[in-house]
Amino acid sequence: MSIMNDLKKQVSIGRVLAAYNLCAHLKRHGDQLIGPCPLHGGDNPTAFRVHLTRGLWNCFTACAGGDIVDLIRVIEKCSKAEAAHILRRMITAAPPLQSFDSPSHPHGAASTIPFRPFRRRIPLNPRSPFLQQTKNIKVETAMRFEAGLPDPKSTFLKQTVAVRLRDMQGHPIGYCGRRLDRDAIARYGKWRFPARFPKSQMLYNAHRALPERHRGIVVVECPWAAMRLTQAGIRGVVALLGTTITQTQLAWLAPAPAVFLLLDGDQAGCAGATTIARALSRHTKVLIHRLPPDKEPEDLSDVDLAALVHDALSFSLNPPLSLRATR
C-alpha cells in the first residue's frame, strides 16, 4: 500500500470537510452530502455532492471533483505533496468538534448550525475617529476590510463601528459591530455578533492569509489588530475573535511552519496565549510575544509591528546555526 493511500484511509472526507468549516449548508441524504458548492460559493442547492463511504466529492458546476487529496489541493491551492503533509497533521490533531462522521449528528452539521449568512453589502463610512484616531487604521485600510460607521438608522449596528465578516473561504456572511457607548459595553461587552454566529468555526481574515500560511501566521484577538498588521505589511495574520482556540481553528493553523501569538496584554490575553500555545505546539512551532498589561497590538506603530513580526518569524524559521546544531 502506498503512503498516500495509507493517509487517505486514516482521514475521512467528512473530517476534512468539518476541519475546513465546509459543512454548514450540506445536507445528508443516506450516504451522500448534497448542497451548494462551498468551494467556489455557488448557490445551486444540488451542485456539490459527497460520497462519505467512498470518500469522493464532485462539484458539477466549477470545481471538478476527486478524493480527499484533490479536495485539499483545491482548498489550499497546493501540490499533492503538500496535501499529504496536511493530511499527516490532521491525523495527529484531535478531530473537529462537529463532523458528518459523528453518530451524535446523524444528519450532519446543517441540522445543528441554524446560523444564516447575511450576504447583502451594507454601505459603511470608513472615516471614523475610532478607526483613524483610536486604532490608527487608515481610511484605505478600513475600505479594504469593509469597516466603518453604518447608517445611523441601522438597528443591529446602531452606535457601533461595523466590520464585514467572511468565512474562511472568503464568502460574506454578515457584519459585527464594536460598541462605542460605554454603558452598552459595560452591560453587553465590546462586540456585537449576529445571532447564533458560529465564531468557533471562524478565523477572521483567513481567506487573505491563506496564501501566506507557508511563511508563518500571526494570530491576534480582534479585527482591528488584523487590519493594523496588514497595514504594516504583514499579510499572514488571522484573528480568533476571542482568546480561545477550537479544533477547526487549530486544523487551519497546524500546516503553518510557525505561529506567532500576539494577543492583548491583559489577563485574558496572557492566559489565552498560554493555552493556545500548548494546543498548537504539538503541530507546529509557536512563539508568544507578551505585551504590557495595558497594551493591544494596534497600540504599536506600523514600523514596530512589522519589525516585531519579521524578527520573530525569521528567527523561528531560520534559527542561528549554533541553535540548529543543538537540536
Residues 64 and 90 grouped into a single domain: yes
Number of helical (H) and strand (E) elements in the chain, helices listed first: 13, 13
Residues 170 and 244 grouped into a single domain: no
Residue 311 lies in a domain: yes
**Which CATH number fits the domain that encloses residue 66?**
3.90.580.10
The one-letter code for the residue type at 288 is I
Residues 92 and 183 grouped into a single domain: no
Residue 230 lies in a domain: yes
Residue 118 lies in a domain: no
Question: Which range of residues forms the domain containing residue 231?
Answer: 206-325
Residues 310 and 212 grouped into a single domain: yes
Asked whether 75 and 20 are in contact (CB, 8 A), the reply is: yes
Question: Which of 111, 144, 172 is the last residue before a domain boundary?
Answer: 111
Residues 135 and 162 grouped into a single domain: yes
Residue 63 lies in a domain: yes
Q: What is the CA radius of gyration of the chain?
A: 20
Residue 279 lies in a domain: yes
> CA nearest 86: which of 243, 240, 283?
283
Residue 119 lies in a domain: no
Residues 213 and 283 grouped into a single domain: yes
Residues 86 and 190 grouped into a single domain: no
**Which CATH number fits the domain that encloses residue 280?**
3.40.1360.10
Residue 120 lies in a domain: no
> CA nearest 96: which of 193, 13, 37?
13
**Bridge partners, 65 (sequence order):** 58
Residues contacting residue 62 through CB under 8 Å, at least 6 positions apart: 37, 39, 40, 42
Question: Which of 197, 219, 242 is the last residue before a domain boundary?
Answer: 197
Residue 124 lies in a domain: no
Residues 168 and 250 grouped into a single domain: no
Residues 238 and 321 grouped into a single domain: yes
Q: What is the tally of structural domains in the chain?
A: 3
| pLDDT, one tens digit for every residue, the chain (327 residues) | 477 887 788 888 988 888 777 877 788 888 899 998 888 877 788 999 999 989 999 998 888 899 999 998 888 778 888 888 888 877 766 555 445 554 434 333 333 446 888 999 999 999 999 999 999 999 999 999 999 999 988 888 989 999 999 999 999 999 999 999 998 888 788 999 988 888 888 999 999 999 999 999 999 999 999 999 999 999 999 999 989 898 889 999 999 999 999 999 998 899 999 999 999 998 999 999 999 998 999 999 999 999 999 998 886 565 544 334 333
Residues 180 and 217 grouped into a single domain: no
Residues 136 and 235 grouped into a single domain: no
Residues 100 and 163 grouped into a single domain: no
